[in-house]
Structure 1
């Protein structure tokens, strides 16, 4: 393909998103600003008939006419999704396998034994997330129910009301406590609404986790939604960087470039504990509610009125970790979130997460992860560098 440029040699790029993600747009805009691009993004008309430019950054989805229109432009195209893997395009996209695996590990570490994955469309993104979630759960000896609206709808018209009734029926029949992974936040909202309508408690009976971490969705529900942050801004930025290399004459990569997710933003919808033993459940709730305080094992046993040996035996039989291991995990998890998301000092974080002193937090953090809290904060705030190290650390919790 021949590069087409305007008279003043400014690179003109079309941003054509089948689904609009502001984070992706922000990543493309950041690259464009740094490299002097002009970006056209007309969301009423994703492929303007008058457009004449150098390359396209697209997000192909379910609309087949989207690609039919784009291919007529005869310029390099980078796709930011793998919903349409049959179309041979250079791609920079979310690591959907890592997303599915992260979701499964999130529920497994909370002790769940009954799992389901829910999605609306049989697209490449959905399938890869579902398959990774299901295989991770299966590898731990558990089954996983797959709830696919497109596969199960039959002759039903695709309406929100029809999906709502279908989800109510399906969720009511599954064993509880149940962990449900919805492949996008919009599907997770429908799961929560179906649970509420069916009288199913979220998260006590059904815990729900979505993907995209759209705060305008997640924070505005009756039960705020836990969601995986897939690092969409980095997807957009690296997609623009790949298009820039293609426009400079570089050959397209043979395989997609995958951007790892940042992690799980935990809210109420997945804050359940899949434990049937009453003393273990009570101890876990006490640990989670008081982890920011300097509590010890004696405080936990006093709360549940059971001997230390009896409680530890019950944990071995009914949960995946010992009581003090769970306390340490919760504290480290909260410290990691604060390191990523706040500007608090290590001393302040230690005080707010139950470690009490910066020395104690640094010692346990490095002992567990092989890296200091300060180094972790640096790696998680340095663009694409953060993706691999943050993933490795999160996987150890």
Structure 2
């Protein structure tokens, strides 16, 4: 790991923002391209980009929570029960707050929160890579995160952008030994999505290593910082799960709610069955594509280990990937569930940073266009992302 100076501690925040400006501008350009292509596609399909980004699928559930609070339950014709208690509260809280202090409606407030959070996430992703491998790698990583095939979700009123922003800055806090900040951000991540456990795990594992007797040297001399970060980190996730349990009258109430939605953790059995069905069905190429995607995730993780990424990055992306791939539920959502695992993109980002600027820009530009077209195609499909 390279010993790169930390710009955000050595300089004021304004200087740090200037350092991150190329990454943020490039990120914003990619996301703007995605929205423009989506809007253009919508002119042909007769469906507005605003509706697709702010008022469909999960966005509707978050908006209803912001407007009415928890307690809404949808009873489906096949007997399934969908409760809005399945959705963690931080995004709808922010939607309600923004709607209360601005002229925006809750749905538009959710879109504003997501767009702001996506920039905060891009900055955090840049800051992590910049600290470890330099500015060019940081820019490349932020743009690679933007051009993911599921990158359009970063522009939707979903919680992925908010969660990734909290996860990235929590990792950055761990890299800079800001234990209380890391614990607080992990607690907020735990109020955002169930996968907040991945950020909690990153804090706990990193702090546990710091608490070893041989680690009590220099800035790690006192164990109070790591221990306090560990204590704070799970409070958000545990608090919401405990509140849900009290509300449903069962300590396992949240798991029951997820089960009613068809979600759970089965070690990947349901996903394996889904892949098998595709391989043996009328379109076996779909199954081959799924196997290739799983192999790619595993290969990227191996590269992360060989790149000697710091422990919090490896724990974060490892737990996020494990929860995404080994969980049951709607399989079409798995690509976006992997989105917070941004450290998986560090090896290709470092490779891009080593080549000349012109070919790197051409590669990322082509990827941005492909991502924009795929995102428009995806959102105009029949199922949720």
Which structure: greater helix fraction? Answer: 2
Larger Rg, first or second structure (1 or 2): 1
Same-fold status (TM-score > 0.5): no
TM norm structure 1: 0.28
| RCO comparison, higher one (Cα < 8 Å, 6+) | 2
Report the TM-score, using the length of structure 2 for normalisation: 0.29
